[in-house]
Structures are given as C-alpha cells and as structure tokens.
Structure 1
Amino acid sequence: MTNTVHKQIDQPFRPRARVLQLLGDELIGSARLAVFELVKNAYDADATNVNVRLDLVSSQKPSITIVDDGEGMTLDILQSVWLVPGDEHRQKQRESLTRSPMHGRLPLGEKGLGRFAVHKLGNRIKLVTRAQHSDECVVEIDWNKLIAKPFLDEAPVRITVRPPKVFTDNKTGTMIKVSQLRTNWTRGETRRLQNQITSICSPFEEPASFQAVLELPGLESWIEDLPDVREILNRAIWKFSFRLNNGEFEWTYEFRKIPGLKLDGRTIKKSADKLKLPPKTGDDSSEKDVVALKENLSGIGRLSGEFYVYDRDREVLRLLADVQLLTGYLDEVGGIRVYRDGIRVYNYGEPGDDWLGLDLRRVNIPTRRISRNIILGAVHLSLEESTGLIEKTNREGFVENDVCHELRRIVLGCLAALEEERQIDKGRIRRLTGKPEDPTSSKIEKPIEDLRRELDNQGISKRFAPYVEKIESDYRNMQETLLSAGMSGLNLAVVFHEVERGVRALHQVISKGTDLKAAARQAKDLMRLLDGFSVLLRKDSKQNHSARKLIETARRFNILRIRHHKVSLSCPILEGNAQGFNSRFAFSLVLGALGNLIDNSLYWLRVQWPDVQDSQSPTKRKLHIGLTSDLSEGPAIIVADNGTGFQDDPEYLTRPFFTRKPSGMGLGLYYANLAMELNGGQLLFPHPGEVNLPDQYDGAVVALVFK
C-alpha cells in the first residue's frame, strides 16, 4: 500500500485587515494609556519636547494632536518600520546598546507594537514626519475604510512625500493628529490625563532632556487648579531617599517639623548599610537571604528611589492647610511608581494597582505600615542593567518572573527601612497629640490554613487534625475570655503573636517530614502554651522550676533551626552537672519569652553574617545561652550573640509594635518583658562586661531576670 498525496500547498497566513484595530484595542487598555505610549515613542525618537494638544471646543471635530521635535522618519523608515507590526528595529538597538545620537538614550520600546496606540484614540489618523535633510512624509489612515477590506494585504496605506510644510527650515520631528475620537473626554478624564502626562517623567529625577506638556485650548480651567507635584512633595512629613548597588544600601531619612507641634525634626544618614529583605513565604525563620546581596540584584541592577510620606491622622491634619487638596491628590495618585532611565513604567502606582500589596500589608499592623494613600514614591532603574525585567505586551507592568518578584521584595525592604525610623517619630507625634497607639487586630486563620495544607501534602492530616482543631479552639476560647475581660487590645495581640509563632514552628517541622514524634511533641507544647496564657488573667498558676530545664527545653525546640542556619551554639549549663537556680514561674510563658530571644538572635545573626555559598566554611554566627548571678536584680538566663546588636534604647525595645524586622509585628520583646513581669521578674539589656561574657559575643545581650 502506498501513501497517495493528491496535492501539497504552501499557504501563507493572510491576516484580516481588522487585526490592526484589534492590536490597538486589546494591547492598549485606555485612551490615556494610548497617549502615554505615543509620548514614549517620542522619547525613543530622541525628542526633547512633546506637546499633547486636546482640541475639544475650538472646532466642530474634536481631535488630539501629538507633536515632538525628535529625529523624525524617512520614507524608508516609514515603509520598513512604522508600517511593519512587530518590527525589531528598537529591540536590536537596545540589545546592541546603541544609544540615540543627541541624548544618548536606549529605546524603551522593543516589540514594535506601541504605535498601534494611535488607533485606540480615533478613527482618522494623519501622520506628518520629517527626518534631517529629507522631505516631509504624510500618512493618512481612515480606519473605517481600512478595516472594511477583507485582508491586510488588500488594504494599502498611501504615503505622500512633499516639501516641508509643518517642519520647516531645519526642524525635524513627528506630528500625529487623531480625529473622530473614540473616547468622550470629560473633565475628570482630562484631569487624569494631565496627572498621567506629568508622571511620565519622574518628578524626583526628571531628565532635563525630555518634557511632555498638555494643552487644552478653551478648557484650561479644567486642569489649572490641579496641584503642582513639587508643592505636594514639599508638604510631606517624612522623606526617605536611598540607593542600592552591589548589596550596599545607602539611605537618608528625614522627619520634617510639623507646624503647630513642639517637636523637632531629625535626619539620619547611613552608608554601606545592609538592606533587610522581607521573607518570600511570610515566615523569616527559614529564609536564608534575609539581606540583599549582589546576587539579589541580578537582572535588576542598581536602583535608587524616594519615598514621600504623609500623616492622615485627624490630629495632624487639623494642623495643616489645604487638607482637602492634599488628601484628594493622595487618593488619586498615591502609591509607588517605577521609572527606567527616568521614564515611567506603566501601570505601577495607578489607582487600583497595588503592586506591592501595601494596603493588605497594613491590615495587620495599621499603626506601623504605610498604605498607598499616604505615600508618593518612585523607584529608579537603569534600562541597560535591568535586563531581567521585561515589560508585558499589554503595558501592565513587568512579566511576573523571579526577577520581578525579587524587585518587589527589595522595594518592600527599602520601605521597611523607612518604617523602622518613622515608627519612632510617629510615636512622638501620638504622645503629643494624645492619640493612643492602637493595638493590632491580627487573625490566626492564615497560619492555621497553611498548616492544614501542609498536613494534607504530607499525608498526615488524620493524625494531626485533633491537635490543630484543639489549638484553634483553645485560641478562640482565649480570645473570647480576653474580650469578655475587657482585655481585647494589646494582650490579644500578644496571644496571637505567640500562637502564630508556635504554628509556624510546627509547620516548619512537618514540612521537613523527618521526625513526626518531634512534630507531635511541638503540637502538645503549643497547646500547653495556650493553657499557660491563663496567667494573663490568673496569677496563681506558677510553680517551682529549674532554669536548666527551661534552657534544655528551648534548645530541643530550636536545635534544628540553629543547625539549619549554621549557628554555633554555646550552653555551658548543659555541658556539665551543674543544676543552676530554681524559681517560681509559669513554665510555658517564660519558655515563650526565651524562644522569642532565640528567634531574634537567629534573625540578626543572618543580617550580620549573610549566607555564603560555601557551606564548608566555618560559621561566624555564634549564640550563647547561659546563667549568671552577676546582676544585682537577681539570677538570670542570658541570651547573647555576635549579631548586629541593638541600636535603640531599652524603652523602645520593649514597646509594643516597635521592630526593625521587615516582617516583624514588634511584639516579641514586649511579650518577653510582659512574661517576666507577670512572673515577678524583669527583662534587662546588660553590657557584656556586666555578665562576664567572652569577647566574641559583641552583639545583643538580653537577660531574663528571676526573683
């Protein structure tokens, strides 16, 4: 039997003429974005000035005209580039790092699709362009006639070559006039267009070589009362500027004096600092890269930025002038934008685009976190260096790859550095205005949900389900008890902090799938911790316990993490037969306090000594847990390390919600202090010499002092 072929045909694709209109409609989300794209094209054409003229009343036929003074196009460029969808002209320039002759720019466009933005604006297009030493070229397109043709190759576009009429003398550039507009340009839409045009260039780092202006003949009043961006920036209470290069973090924090408040401003400058990164998973206990290293900037390159932050508390707003103008502007354009080579990457920072999750992030810690409606910010990238960040074809930010995720993490780390200092001044403001520092209202659902999912993944949900249900039930009961006792604020937040910490630790043990007995033991200890919280309401459940046993239990709970992070642990009391001291205390609560101190040390050791690739090298991270009788206040358990140490006074360290960890709630040391006070002891921060520590422990030193 033979294979019979009747006919073979090589048939090329024949796009319908309407495909060009579809490109404009589907790739460009709005008429304002279409104008934005055409202005970007002018930047790529090496223009210095772009004029956007919106004629709505001066003629019977409303129109939009965009004129630039760039290099213009020759007949050959028109034919081989502008009229060729998807042409690689700009992409090749960028890949070869070929910069423009006048301003030395790399092209922003690379897909050859931005020009179809013009079809989003209207049905009739007239393009006039002139390159140096060339005649003018004119292209006119009637979109309705063009798409009436069945196929694209049956819809030719006529190009007229003529002596210069628009770009006379030695002028060059491009003019695009669009009529039969497809958008109803209302006052509100026009004001949003003005805000968008002013945001094309960074107001913080505006390139002197490029400027875009909107003209609205006959309707100037629509936009003349819009606030000047720089005037709004000058009214910010906080300013934070930063640079990150090769892992070195340089920043300046400025708190400006508020009119009517007897509170001095302050400025802090840091160079060669480490940028602490928020965890990828929501739990920093297992993260290796807690600070930004050179590797974290791969595909991103150097970056810098500015954050201007405002205060919308009623007590502060009443001290300010033109409050409605300020808050209205922040509601409309608040957020953090991204700029490459000084030109905006759309649509980061647009209303509805919370690309950093700022508003959600603020829910759990409203007194400390910054939301979109109190910040005007910009992040600046180098187009040449940020090769791993690829703009989406639909102009809605970068492709969601690993580099984009790392950029988001880095920017959040920079924001957290600002929040660290801001919380100090925010507290000073609140104390002066008499506003209490509201406690957080966190929820336990998320960590419990994560734990259940991990149990399912490991196939052990049946065995551990009773533990999880008991933990959740006990937490609910404790919540109701605290609420009924009128203690719904800070103490409830502390309960959540400790329960979440325990659930996360249990989740980590189970996810490793190595020791189910250890996991069961940890679940039971978490239930005992909840039982121990009754001390917050009843102060009669203390018993006599050994400090040695407390340290031994804490070491057992944390030894896997200590080894995972390559920390050298010293526990002298456990290396001999000495028993140490006994004291009366609630074991679970003080164990939680000691666990918090270990958590803090493990984090700050990673900040001070970032992870290196060579796992064979001896560890530089050192942790000491021991006993001392050298303090006059009483016998104590000492936790010391060679991490970064404390940079704040003790009064701040034990204040609720005060933290310098990007993902921290600021309750760890507060809880430790509260637990010790409830047991008749105290939390102290002695000098290493006071407790006779070896010289190698030159970081944080904390003492749990018993009576």
Structure 2
Amino acid sequence: MAAKPTIKPEQVPFRFHPRVFASLGADLVTSDLVAVIELVKNCYDAFATRVDVRFKTGADGKLSLEIEDDGMGMTDDTIRDVWCVVATPFREQHTTSSRDKKQRRVSGAKGLGRLSAARLGEAMQVVTKTKGGKCWQVDVSWGGLASSDSMDTCYAFLAEGDETTLRKGAGTLVRINGLYGEWTDEMVSDLEEGLSRLKPPFDKLGDFKIYITPPGENERATEIEPSKLINNPTYLIKGHYAADGSLKYEYLYKGLDGKRRSVNTATPQSWRTVKDDVSRNPQRYQPKGDKPLCGPFNFEIRAWDLDKDSVELAAGQFKMQKSQIRTEIRTFKGLSVYRDQILVLPKSETARDWLGLDLRRVSKVGTRISTSQIVGYVGISGDANPDIEDTSDRERFVQNDAAKEFQVLLYHVIEALEMERDRDREPAPPSPLDIFSGISASDVVTEARRAKEQGADADEIIALVEGFDRKLEGTRKAVEQHFTYYSRLATLGTLAAMLVHEIGNKRLYIQSFVEAVHAYLAKPEKGTFDVKKTLKYAEEALSHLQRLAQVFYPLAARTYKRGRRTASIAATVEMCRTAQEKPLAERGIDWKAELKGPDEVKVDPAELHAVLQNLVDNAVYWLGRKESGEKKLVIETRKSAIAGRVQVLVHDSGVGVADEDRERIFDPGYTRRPNGAGMGLTVAGEIVSQHDGKLRLAPQGRFGGATFDFTLPLK
C-alpha cells in the first residue's frame, strides 16, 4: 500500500483589500442619521462642551457637512498612531478622557466610528489642534482608497493646517465633501430628532451642548433641547436597581385636570422579591444569581395618554397644536439607554422599540403602554455594567445573559408603571352588549301609553307588563348563562397558570432523577446513593401530579355540572400547602391550618382548590413583599352562623390592602401585581357566589394584614 504524501502546513496570511474601508464605513452603520450621530459621539469622547453640526453650500452649489467641536484636538502622533489605525484598541485601553481636572467616560470602544464618514460623502477633511499645539489637517478620499490595488498604497494625507479655520482656536473640525445623499427638510428634521436624543432630556445638557445649522443661506445655529411637554409628563416613575438587585422607585401622577398622586417605595424591593415577580412570566429570561449579572442602573420613564381627549387637554395646557403633541413625544419616544451619559440605544427609528413593548401590548391594549407613549431614560456605566454591550451596527445589545437580565428588569419597571397608571386612569365606560337590550323598558312604556290613549283597561296594560316581565326573565337567564360560561373560562385560565407552575416545579424533581440515572450508567462505580435519593422525590412529584389530574379532569369535561362532587377542605388546604411549599420556605412564612369547622362541602374539588389557591397565592405574594417582621399565613374554618354552611377564613400578616384598593380588588382585570391578570379574586368571588356565598375582605385583618372570608354549603 502506497504511503500517503505528507504536506507541510503553510502559513497563509490574512490580507485586506482596500474595499474594506467602504464596507466598514458605508455598510457598518444602518443609515446616514446613525453615521452623523457616531461622528458627534466622537466629539463627546474628545471632551467637547459644544458641537456644531452645519450644512454648507459651496461656491459650486454642492452641499457639504461640517461637524466642529471645542474638544481636546489631536496631535500628529495621535493621528498617525490612533486615528489612522482601523479598529484601534486605544479607547478600549483608555476608557476615560481627562480635561481641566475633569473626567468623562468615553462612549466608543471599537475604533470604527470615524469610518462612518465613508457612508456620507466622497471625501473627508479633518482640521484639528490641541491647546498650545500645532494645527494639523488630514485629507481622506474614500473613493481613492477603495480603488487602490492593495493596502500598501492606501494613505491619508497629513499636513499643517490653518488654525483660523477653528472658531475656538482648538478642537476638531470634520468636513465631509461630496455628500452622497440629498439632505431634504425631512431628513434634516430626522437628524435633529436623532441628535436631540444623544443626551438624555431629563438632565440639563450641562457641559455638552449640540447646535445644528440646516441648509440655506440665512439659517442660524439652534440648540437642540427638549420641550416643556417632555418635562411635564402625566405619569412618571424613576428609581434604581442597586448592585445587590434591590429595587427602589417613586411614582408621580400629574393629571391634566389637576389631580395629583405620588407613591414612594421607602423600603426597597429585595432581589428575591424582584426575581419572584419576574418568574411569574415563564416566557421571559429568569434571573438566577444572588445578585444581578447586569449590574446596577438607574431609570426615569415618563408617559402620556394619547387618546383624543388627553391630546386635546395637553394641547390647551401647553398652548400647542394637537398634531404637535404626538410629534413632540415622537421625537424622544421609546426607552433610551445611556452609557456614561451618552446614547447607546436606540440610534435609529427602526430600533425605537428594541425592548418589544408594542408587540407585548397587542395582548392587552389599553392597560399596557406602547413605545409611542413613553420617553424613557436608563443610565448604565462602562465600569458598573461591563457585560451590557451593543453590537457593531449599534442597533441592539449583544444577547448574553447580562443583557437578557437587563431587559427583563426593565420590563419589571414598565409593569410597575402600568399598574400605578391603571389606578389613576378613569375607567372607560363599558360597551353595550346585545344581550342587555332586553333590559330596556322603553318598548313596554311606549306600548302602555299607546294602549292608554286607545282606552285600554287595567287588565290589558297588566298583560303588557307581564309580557315584559317574561322577556326580562329570559334576559336574566341569558346573562346568567353567559356569565357562568365566561366565569368557567376564567377559572380554567387561572388554574392553567397554576398547573403550568406546578408541572414545572415537579418536572425538576423528575429531571433530577433522570440525570442521576444517566450519571450512574456513565460511572456505576459512584454507586446508587444519588439515584435512590432523587427517586424518592420523583415518586412524590409523580403522585402530586396524579392528584392534580384527578382533581381537575372533571372540570374540563363537556358533561361538567356543578354540584355532582363534594370536596374536603382539609385535603384541599394540604394541596395548596404542597403547591406553595417552596415559596413558603424561601420567604420564611409560618403556615398554620386551624380547621375547627365541618370538613366536607358541596363544592367541586377543582372549584374549591381554585378559591383557596387564589387566596393563598395572594397571601404568599404579599407576605413576600414584607421585608421585616413576622410572616404568618393561617387558614381557619369555623361553624357558620348560617345553618348548613361552614365559614372559611384566610389570614395573613402581610402589607394589607390599601384603602383606595379595597373597593376595586374584586373588579375583573384590576391588579397590583406585576404580570398579574387581575382575575384571581374575581374568579374566586364568582365561584363562591355560585354557591350562594360571598367572598369578603374583612375591615381589619387578624394579624394586621388581610383577612378574606366566605361561606360554603355543607355536604
């Protein structure tokens, strides 16, 4: 057999074609708007306090763009060793710039921002001077670079410059000649919007101001700044996540009608509480660590109602045209992230909804806030949040665990804002339904008047009223049937959420057993200790899931009818305790059952479970929001004063129910819990009502928190 020839590996170097300048410049950023913003960001990194963006028309009638700053300028060594080095690590190695004993964290790190100019025009000229240094001029022809044969013939041309070109005698002027695009009034307006978002509107621009001079002979420089409307939101939430994950915020409502309300979380929500809230939406990333991976950050989010009436009120108050209201908010709309006070996201219109608020709103229009309704600021820093990185196209975050967690925590803040906003908004009047048309007495009144005019006697008029009574009774039954149907759907929805949670928890035990078996099969010498240990938990998990199936299967059957089954209160209470075993332990909640009343009730087990599970889940949730003091949860039964019934009470020592919420907690859709549907107490109350009882919130809780009680029929 012939021997295979051996070929010695050859080192083949990577080479760049000069077209790389066009690719990195024209294709790296997504629009001319983003390209200009990147160049203005470079001014910030140069410690400028003022930047002028100017459009100029030359003697040849061609438009050019100038970006001039009063920053630190560059030396010839900096031009050679940093500016002319593509993807230089300089900013990555020098993360701050210093000037006059002040420091500023730089926003650039990739060393590519200046190549954005290649997208804008044919050639670039840079005039730059440091304080007390020489003035230098750099000329670059992008077309000339791209047409070169190799990188060895690619040059920028450096020469001494004219310092009188610079208005302040120092700084940097970037002039882009031969603009590719036609800068229409609309494009310049979009650029103004983009530049206005380069610094957050929430703080005075302070030591970084931006001016723009549009195309035209008589145009003057105007400063970019936010409007009075932006500084006077209807709804405001601001606060911060600390390094340990605790959340503290304050909320302020300033209605256009003069109403005011404020909320201040004097005691921060703990990281455990925040994680618990987030975990209630299993479709989102679930934080797992003892503290946030993303690091601490602060936020301020302003929101407005944009319905017709609200826009009219705002137009009157701020003396603006109605069309201007939405335009002003659109200028700043969305949630903007600033790293060391310079904009990171979003850089373009298409990225405004980078958090996905609009898609999320589709499922709950009205309650949920859209991107067009908010102007939000989120402040991060390069030092405290090193793992939150934007991609090279500057349109999104690198999707690592830190960025995913960061986004989830922002969702949590948005949901807190929505909950508070719901309390302050006037509820919209319900739409009339056809089913209620039979309640109107107008027809019978008209008929009675006509009969009277025709000389009808009392018996004939009574007959008309009796006919209406029969119609009204039919309507009542139809309403009852419809409400029962939708109540059952709501019950199933509530139970479905609980079942998903339970199945997920028990699956972990079964998965642990499977993993232990795999580990044993791979290395039998390790023994069966872990297999036996996890087998016990897996068996218990399967038994629990089997009990759940037995309880809830009849509720989903087509032949389901109330009253066919009975339930044990004690057994149901134990199922609720088992379901809450983990959160009870994590929160240090003392659970106790004081079951002194009759046990067997004439209620379907699934319905009794739904009532108790909702009440227990609420109690556990609000006890978890109590950061100190004893945490008690007691379920009590006693003989009812009403014959043939038992009284059930659920007590907790939590934060209680605020006075302004007491009348609304049973309303469908009303919730004070992030990710809550606001149907738990509604469903529980309706089930109790179907059994001739009433779910009630006691005026005063037994342990200072909340006490709910109701009665059920005995077997």
- The answer to whether the 8 Å contact 2:685/2:695 transfers is yes
> 2:186 is matched with which residue?
188
Alignment map for 1:288-367 (pairs within 5 Å): 295-301=290-296, 303-321=297-315, 322-331=321-330, 333-347=332-346, 350-367=349-366
Aligned residues: 629
> 2:121 is matched with which residue?
122
Secondary structure in structure 1 of the residue aligned to 2:94: helix
Q: Give CA deviations for 1:650-699 in whole Å, capped at 9, x if unaligned.
A: 21221222222211111111211222122211222236665xxxxxx554
* Change in CA separation of 1:93 and 1:285 when aligned onto 2, cut-off 3 Å: closer
* Change in CA separation of 1:678 and 1:61 when aligned onto 2, cut-off 3 Å: same
- The answer to whether the 8 Å contact 1:242/1:251 transfers is yes
- The answer to whether the 8 Å contact 1:542/1:679 transfers is no
* Change in CA separation of 1:435 and 1:400 when aligned onto 2, cut-off 3 Å: same
* Change in CA separation of 1:57 and 1:659 when aligned onto 2, cut-off 3 Å: farther
* Change in CA separation of 1:585 and 1:57 when aligned onto 2, cut-off 3 Å: farther
Instruction: Give the aligned CA root-mean-square deviation in angstroms.
Output: 4.0
Matched, 1:430 2:442: no
Task: Provide TM-score, normalisation by structure 2.
Answer: 0.78
* Change in CA separation of 1:629 and 1:22 when aligned onto 2, cut-off 3 Å: same
2:634 pairs with one of 624, 628, 631: 624
- The answer to whether the 8 Å contact 1:136/1:165 transfers is no
Q: Which one-letter code corresponds to 2:387 in the other structure?
A: G
* Change in CA separation of 1:503 and 1:524 when aligned onto 2, cut-off 3 Å: farther
> 2:55 is matched with which residue?
54
2:253 pairs with one of 246, 252, 255: 255
Q: Which one-letter code corresponds to 1:365 in the other structure?
A: K
Q: Which one-letter code corresponds to 1:203 in the other structure?
A: P
Secondary structure in structure 1 of the residue aligned to 2:556: helix
> 2:684 is matched with which residue?
672
Matched, 1:601 2:601: no
Q: Which one-letter code corresponds to 2:280 in the other structure?
A: D
Give the Cα–Cα distance (whole angstroms) in 1 for the partners of residues 432 and 618 of structure 2. 24
Give the Cα–Cα distance (whole angstroms) in 1 for the partners of residues 675 and 626 of structure 2. 17
> 1:647 is matched with which residue?
658
- The answer to whether the 8 Å contact 1:336/1:349 transfers is no
Q: Give CA deviations for 1:203-237 in whole Å, capped at 9, x if unaligned.
A: 1024410011221132889999x997322314532
- The answer to whether the 8 Å contact 2:33/2:348 transfers is no
Q: Which one-letter code corresponds to 1:529 in the other structure?
A: L
* Greater CA drift, 12-21 or 563-572: 563-572
- The answer to whether the 8 Å contact 1:227/1:325 transfers is no
Give the Cα–Cα distance (whole angstroms) in 1 for the partners of residues 706 and 570 of structure 2. 21
Give the Cα–Cα distance (whole angstroms) in 2 for the partners of residues 327 and 167 of structure 1. 39
> 2:524 is matched with which residue?
none
Give the Cα–Cα distance (whole angstroms) in 2 for the partners of residues 245 and 205 of structure 1. 21
> 1:230 is matched with which residue?
227
Give the Cα–Cα distance (whole angstroms) in 2 for the partners of residues 489 and 59 of structure 1. 74
> 2:606 is matched with which residue?
588
Q: CA deviation at 1:249?
A: 3.6
> 1:156 is matched with which residue?
155
Give the Cα–Cα distance (whole angstroms) in 2 for the partners of residues 675 and 488 of structure 1. 12
- The answer to whether the 8 Å contact 1:72/1:172 transfers is yes
Q: Which one-letter code corresponds to 1:273 in the other structure?
A: P
> 2:712 is matched with which residue?
706
The structure with the largest alpha-carbon Rg is 2
Q: Which one-letter code corresponds to 1:209 in the other structure?
A: D
- The answer to whether the 8 Å contact 2:49/2:71 transfers is yes
* Change in CA separation of 1:126 and 1:530 when aligned onto 2, cut-off 3 Å: same
* Change in CA separation of 1:703 and 1:286 when aligned onto 2, cut-off 3 Å: farther
Give the Cα–Cα distance (whole angstroms) in 2 for the partners of residues 23 and 271 of structure 1. 50
Give the Cα–Cα distance (whole angstroms) in 1 for the partners of residues 615 and 249 of structure 2. 28
Secondary structure in structure 2 of the residue aligned to 1:673: helix
Secondary structure in structure 1 of the residue aligned to 2:346: coil
Q: Which one-letter code corresponds to 2:175 in the other structure?
A: K
Q: CA deviation at 1:288?
A: 13
Task: Provide TM-score, normalisation by structure 1.
Answer: 0.79
Matched, 1:268 2:263: yes
* Change in CA separation of 1:497 and 1:6 when aligned onto 2, cut-off 3 Å: closer
Q: CA deviation at 1:160?
A: 0.6
> 1:613 is matched with which residue?
none
> 1:452 is matched with which residue?
none
2:576 pairs with one of 531, 554, 562: 554
* Change in CA separation of 1:220 and 1:521 when aligned onto 2, cut-off 3 Å: farther
Q: CA deviation at 1:184?
A: 2.7
Q: CA deviation at 1:370?
A: 1.1
Q: Give CA deviations for 1:567-601 in whole Å, capped at 9, x if unaligned.
A: 5432243xxxx663554434422320111122223
* Change in CA separation of 1:269 and 1:385 when aligned onto 2, cut-off 3 Å: same
Give the Cα–Cα distance (whole angstroms) in 2 for the partners of residues 404 and 239 of structure 1. 24
* Greater CA drift, 373-382 or 279-288: 279-288
Q: Give CA deviations for 1:392-443 in whole Å, capped at 9, x if unaligned.
A: 22212332112112211222222222222211111xx236xx46699xxxxx
Q: Which one-letter code corresponds to 2:238 in the other structure?
A: S
Alignment map for 1:486-501 (pairs within 5 Å): 492-493=489-490, 495-501=492-498
> 1:199 is matched with which residue?
197
Q: Which one-letter code corresponds to 1:527 in the other structure?
A: Y
Percent of aligned pairs with the same amino acid? 24
Q: Tell me, which stretches of 5 or more residues in structure 2 are unaligned?
A: 316-320, 434-477, 511-537
Give the Cα–Cα distance (whole angstroms) in 2 for the partners of residues 333 and 288 of structure 1. 28
* Change in CA separation of 1:114 and 1:286 when aligned onto 2, cut-off 3 Å: closer
* Change in CA separation of 1:304 and 1:19 when aligned onto 2, cut-off 3 Å: same
> 1:218 is matched with which residue?
216
- The answer to whether the 8 Å contact 2:351/2:395 transfers is no
Q: CA deviation at 1:192?
A: 1.1
Secondary structure in structure 2 of the residue aligned to 1:212: strand
- The answer to whether the 8 Å contact 2:129/2:170 transfers is yes
Give the Cα–Cα distance (whole angstroms) in 2 for the partners of residues 367 and 163 of structure 1. 60
- The answer to whether the 8 Å contact 1:482/1:492 transfers is no
Kindly indicate whether structure 1 or structure 2 has the higher relative contact order, using CA contacts under 8 Å at least 6 residues apart.
1
Q: Which one-letter code corresponds to 1:677 in the other structure?
A: S
Q: Give CA deviations for 1:601-647 in whole Å, capped at 9, x if unaligned.
A: 3333433359xxxxxxxx97543222245889974322233444333
> 1:71 is matched with which residue?
72
Q: Give CA deviations for 1:93-130 in whole Å, capped at 9, x if unaligned.
A: 22xx6644464102111121111111111111111111
Secondary structure in structure 2 of the residue aligned to 1:364: helix
Secondary structure in structure 1 of the residue aligned to 2:164: coil
Q: Tell me, which stretches of 5 or more residues in structure 1 are unaligned?
A: 439-480, 611-618, 691-696
Give the Cα–Cα distance (whole angstroms) in 1 for the partners of residues 91 and 622 of structure 2. 46
Give the Cα–Cα distance (whole angstroms) in 1 for the partners of residues 604 and 83 of structure 2. 77
Q: Which one-letter code corresponds to 2:636 in the other structure?
A: G
Q: Which one-letter code corresponds to 1:50 in the other structure?
A: V
* Change in CA separation of 1:623 and 1:654 when aligned onto 2, cut-off 3 Å: same
Q: CA deviation at 1:65?
A: 0.8
Secondary structure in structure 2 of the residue aligned to 1:400: coil
Alignment map for 1:101-120 (pairs within 5 Å): 101=100, 103-120=102-119
Q: CA deviation at 1:140?
A: 1.0
Give the Cα–Cα distance (whole angstroms) in 2 for the partners of residues 338 and 622 of structure 1. 41
> 1:171 is matched with which residue?
169
Secondary structure in structure 1 of the residue aligned to 2:122: strand
Secondary structure in structure 2 of the residue aligned to 1:120: helix
- The answer to whether the 8 Å contact 2:277/2:675 transfers is no
* Change in CA separation of 1:680 and 1:198 when aligned onto 2, cut-off 3 Å: same
- The answer to whether the 8 Å contact 1:684/1:705 transfers is no
